[in-house]
Structure 1
Amino acid sequence: MSNISVIVPTYRRPADLLRCLNGIDGQELAPHDVVVIYRDTDDDSIRVIREWQSVPGKYGKKSVQVTEPGVLVAMKEGTKAAGGEIVAYTDDDAVPRADWLKRMSAHYADPSVGGVGGRDVQEGVKEGAAGEKVGEVTWYGKLIGNHHIGTGAAREVDVLKGVNMSFRKSLIKFPEGLLGSGAQVHFEVHLCLRVRRFGRKLIYDPAILVDHYPAQRFDTDQRNRVVPEAVRHAAYNMHLGILNWGGAVRAPARIVYSVTVGDRSAPGLARLLIACLRRERDVLQSFVPGQQGQWKSLWFRLRQGPPPRMRP
């Protein structure tokens, strides 16, 4: 048994949850415990959890009920219940490979490592090219993801992905006030950049794998469809995370970049012009709500005053 707890928030995906728990049951390195967090109204998930807990396992099987929506509430309550020194997170629509915890645990032999994560393999999505950037926040504040296509050797990154990440429990602090009633997109930016500001390393290892089967979401943030409210929320969350924890260079540079350039999900003026030329309807639809979310986060940051000091 390891010193790693596994946290699985779930909502209205009973079949996916059962598949995820079966993957955790098959780990070569058994976790210390597994905590499943469910909503009080989610009867189908409750049934799956009760059946899972009725079968004795090699680790502790815990469940926590929450009444509030949002993944952060679930993750926070699950982390409180976790008994391990390291806490790993995955989604109910993902299945960890058998060596997931074994490979993850090995990186924590280095005391300077504060968090470890890996790739989420998605059906029909090819691996990235060698040297593809993963989990990076550039000096001018652009967030590069690519966790689902990363290849090559393990390396330090700025941000891990929620479906496949872990941290030393002592370093975990969840952000307050993020927008969204379900996925609360880009919460990882806050968690991870904060750990980096403590001077700890975050390791992305493409050999640490979960198979990810992106399932339906039950809030405004819908996959492959532009919903203005969801765009606004995601832009707010990401922008605020970089303003809070990006540092003296990246935080102000992010403001300039987001207005002048931006990216596909929250375009600035330059990206808007390219979208007009290419007739990219989804990018055009994201411009106004994306800018609204970013300016709202900047106003919030200015009202809050200087970001909190970090102590190693």
Structure 2
Amino acid sequence: MNEFQVELPDGSMMPRLGMGTWYLGEGRRPQTEEIEALRTGLDAGMRLIDTAEMYGEGEAERLVGKTIAGYRREDLYLVSKVYPHNAGRSHLRESLEASLDRLGTDYLDMYLLHWRGSVPLAETVACMQDAVDAGLIRRWGVSNFNLADMRELLSLDGGANCCANQVLYHLGSRGIEVDLMPWLAERHIPIMAYCPLAQAGGLQRGLIDSAAVRNVAQSHGFTPMQVLLAFVLHQPNAIAIPRSGSREHTLENAAVLQNPFTDEEFEELSRAFPAPNHPVPLDME
């Protein structure tokens, strides 16, 4: 493993820093600006793009499809997610093919179960494996799975082929460090951190205004937002997918990998925002 990639359980490599698309394609910004932001990231080496059929009911996938037109498919790493109610034999193949059509590609590098629903996990695993065998996806994973969910998943036939767990993780939400993150690390399953900049809710302001974050930012030559991202990427088993709708913000994110944290800086932030000392429920947004 190097600082730019993480090795997955199947032996393949995945970029450690990518771009999320939650709320993109929904008219909050001009579409041309959002496409420019994503293309700026691709051109800066952030070739991982994460999306989902849920995001704008497919509009984010369509935006990504427009973004990647003209890029070599082998230079991209595309991840999408299936709704829980579509994750069974009746609908997963149909949902996957619809996502591929919106993205303008014939395969995904990774396909995730967005969260756990009523479809039995064993059925979802079988459908994911069928999609791998059909060449529609290269590998699969899950999202918003706690430790109990992961233990159950890996006990199933084929469940050990899970290649990632996408969960909420940032400086202000460190509960996964108690049990889930080390358990996954022992099995070489990375976490994909969504909202690594604490985008959801009002917590972000309290983080970026804190003395510890501002002190590290000043000493490191970072903005406070870059500090939040660097904190996540300091974890060797973490992939970060911050959302950005502007070119400037995307370039700030891309710069973080070139200037990683020191252990001392990580510890300063940990003292100000410590992880819990006991298991807590999985945070979700």
What is the TM-score when the length of structure 2 is the normalising length?
A: 0.31
Q: Which has the higher contact order (CA 8 A, sep 6+)?
A: 2
- Which has the larger Rg? 1
Q: Say which structure is richer in strand.
A: 1
Q: Say which structure is richer in helix.
A: 2
